[in-house]
Chain A
Amino acid sequence: MASVAESGYIPASRRRRFSRRRVGQTTAPYVLLAPAVAVIGLVLAYPLYLLVKMSFQEYGIRSLFTHKGTWIGTANYARIFHDGEFWHVVLRTVLFTAACVSLTMVLGTAIALLLTRVSRFVRIALMAGLVLVWAVPVIVAVDLWRWMVDYEFGVANWTLTKLHVGNFVRHDWFANPWSGLGVFVALIVWGAIPFVTITVYAALAQVPKELLEAAAIDGAKPWSVFREVTMPLLLPIFVILTSLSIIWDFQVFQQIWVMLDARPSSDYYTMAIYAFHQSFQISEYGLGAAIAVVMVAFMFVATLVYLRQMLKTGEVY
């Protein structure tokens, strides 16, 4: 009904423009927002500005105490763009993210679809299992995976040897960066699947049954029903989940950092680690900031896609 107010709690009076009620109405939302805005401004907005500023500065150990960097224009950017290692790191991060995100989305969706097929008992058990995995803190997950892939007593090596995948006795997974990064992909995908699966499953449950039935009556096979009806309806959720996953996986830091005892070899540098290394280990804070800015730029696309979808589905009017 069009007669329902869209303009807020009790729309402000036009007639009594200067009444106290009117003033209360207009300032109230700002007062309510103020604390949240203050905190976010302090911890996000200002540092974000500082990040960009620092990326144009020479900012070393001394600057940490004087709080002053030296303006050097785009020199930091010039340095990283001409640095072969930087491009290796970028490529590694992009490939790593692609692997993590695609595996997470495909496996997560597959398990969500599986949940709709299994019996009640299996579904409840599987859901509980997923929630359990979801609840495991990242650092704990890192420790337990590190234990599983331990070169000497790790259960992974034993199992793979017994399954005749190859001889994995005393196999050091991290000796080769490819297999080492593979472990990180597995660890991250394992940890990310529950969120994706549970969200997609919740969305699947909201697809109107009549639509699926109508498609079936119209002669669509199960796969076509999925592709023609379910997929398009779930598209918003896929867009949101994919962009979130990209954001999360692109800045991977703590898994690698903790697993490799805070001393990862340069073969394991992702952009976040590279930036961290340049800043906190070499004290080239300006350079680190420039790398971080490039990283934010990379993630910006995913952010835009996410924002658009959220604003569309979030009923923001």
Chain B
Amino acid sequence: MAEIEFLHVGKVYGGDTLAVSDLNLKIGEGEFVVLVGPSGCGKTTALRMVAGLEEVTEGEVRIGDQIVNDLAPRDRDIAMVFQNYALYPHKTVYENLAFGLRMRKVPKEEQRRRVEEIAQKLGLSDMLRRRPGQLSGGQRQRVAMGRAIVREPKAFLMDEPLSNLDAKLRVQMRAEISRIQKTLHVTTLYVTHDQVEAMTMGDRVAVMRDGVLQQVDTPQKLYDSPANLFVASFVGSPPMNLFEATVEQGGTQLAFGETRLDLGFRSLPDYAGRRVIVGIRPEEVREASGWDGARVRGRVLLVEALGAEQIVHIQIAATPLERADLVDAAAQPPGPSLGVEDLERSVTLLGRFDRHLLLTPGEAVEVAIDPRLLHFFDLETGIALPTAAVPAVAGVAG
């Protein structure tokens, strides 16, 4: 068991393709850290540098107190679970599980004891004689996990280990991997592109984009206070609603469409008179009955019933985001529906509503937005804006 540390780590391919740049990240002993980001963001490269499968072109990777940059994979004492499991097709499950032990010259009896113990734990005892080709996807996944565990390595590296499973099995294995990791208390670096996986499994989550680390924090912190527009749009499903608004009244009021929203006890004094990006999570968009704050008028475009709740698409008057490059590509809000007039000035707001609320497409609604729950981002850089607390007096005066 050991900690893993990236110190100013960079990876350049073929002289100019930058896969990872200046990565600083420390995975504590026994900690479960998830590296997450869209495909091509460098997360897998980072993982493979820890494994020794990619050479580190800049900086240092440490495992424990050793710099491992020039250490061969076999000397790093780490175990890796690959996306396609990489089970040796010509070896039986038993031989697959025992391979790492054999390579480390563990005595035969000890090998047998450990393989059987792991097989027992993972429910693989009945299939030790079979070959990977005869196993189901879930079973293969278990063998791959078993092969990593049986070695009792310093750290686990997992490269999208669940992405080849169907949705149901994935949820099940998610819990199982978390459970195993907690029991064994092994330092784990886990790579995925699935933010739900990241949020549910990681002690901490590191969000990457284009080779650059965006933010590292606990899942809850990441969700509540994203450091920038990208993290805000990447984390959460459905994604955060984003639109542009103008800061008025010396930083205490927000204007978009016909709406004037008082920021209450917060203000953006530095942005007075300028435009900012405003974000609000779908579950914070509420139906307005009984709300005495500011209301936003809109029209229902679509209702998606999910059983326990419903996702409602509401068209409101506001300016859509201009800089699409600042947000996660997969989280782009759906474009305005056909037949919606004034495309430039309308935004589709997603709201997560209680299922008992009866709404029909075309219906006019009023939604309530609590200014305390809004996120603000810089229009140009996408960086989250801190708000200043407004003295009570000033608030009254405004």
Contacts and interface: CB of A to CB of B under 8 A. Distances in A.
A touches B in complex, CB < 8 A: yes
B298 interface: no
B40 interface: yes
A4 interface: yes
B12 A5 contact: no
A293 to B, nearest CB: 42
A5 B58 contact: no
A1 B44 CA distance: 8
A62 interface: no
B19 A3 contact: yes
A1 B53 contact: no
Interface residues of B, number: 20
A154 to B, nearest CB: 52
Contact of A3 (B14, B43, B55): B43
Nearest to A22: B55
A5 B54 contact: yes
B62 interface: no
Contacts of A16: 70
Contacts of A4: 44
Given A1-B44, A3-B43, A4-B44, A13 B57 contact: yes
A11 B53 contact: no
Interface in B3-49: 12-15, 19, 39-45, 48
Contacts of A10: 53-55
Contacts of B70: 16, 19
A2 B12 contact: no
Nearest to A11: B55
Nearest to A10: B55
Contacts of A1: 39-40, 44
A14 interface: yes
Contact of B40 (A3, A6, A12, A19): A3
A302 B48 CA distance: 45
A7 B14 contact: yes
A117 interface: no
Contacts of A11: 13, 54-55
A164 interface: no
A15 B39 CA distance: 27
Contact of B57 (A2, A6, A15): A15
Q: Chain A: interface residue count, which band? A: 10 to 19
A16 B54 CA distance: 14
B53 A3 contact: no
Interface in A2-60: 2-7, 10-16, 19
Interface in B301-360: none
B21 to A, nearest CB: 13
A19 B70 CA distance: 11
A17 to B, nearest CB: 11
Contacts of B55: 10-13
B162 to A, nearest CB: 15
A3 B44 contact: yes
Contacts of A2: 19, 39-40
Contacts of A3: 19, 40-45, 48
A3 B40 CA distance: 6
Contacts of B56: 15
B58 to A, nearest CB: 7
A32 B42 CA distance: 32
Contacts of B57: 13-15
A12 B70 CA distance: 12
Interface in A63-77: none
Contacts of B54: 5, 10-11
A20 to B, nearest CB: 11
A5 to B, nearest CB: 6
Nearest to A6: B13
B81 to A, nearest CB: 16
Nearest to B41: A3
A167 to B, nearest CB: 62
A4 B19 CA distance: 10
Contacts of B12: 14
B160 to A, nearest CB: 9
Nearest to B47: A3
Contacts of A19: 70
Contacts of B42: 3
Given A2-B40, A16-B70, A7 B13 contact: yes
Contacts of A14: 12, 15, 57
Interface in A201-229: none
A1 B192 CA distance: 12
Nearest to A4: B44
Interface string A86-105: 00000000000000000000
B1 to A, nearest CB: 27
B53 A15 contact: no
A94 to B, nearest CB: 47
A133 to B, nearest CB: 33
Given A10-B53, A15-B56, 10 more contacts: A1-B40, A2-B40, A3-B19, A3-B48, A5-B13, A10-B54, A11-B54, A13-B57, A14-B57, A15-B58
7 residue pairs, one from A and one from B, having the closest CB atoms: A3-B45, A2-B40, A3-B44, A13-B55, A14-B57, A1-B44, A1-B39
18 contacts: A1-B39, A1-B40, A3-B19, A3-B43, A3-B45, A3-B48, A5-B48, A5-B53, A5-B54, A7-B13, A10-B53, A10-B54, A11-B13, A12-B55, A13-B57, A14-B12, A14-B15, A15-B58
Interface of A: 1-7, 10-16, 19
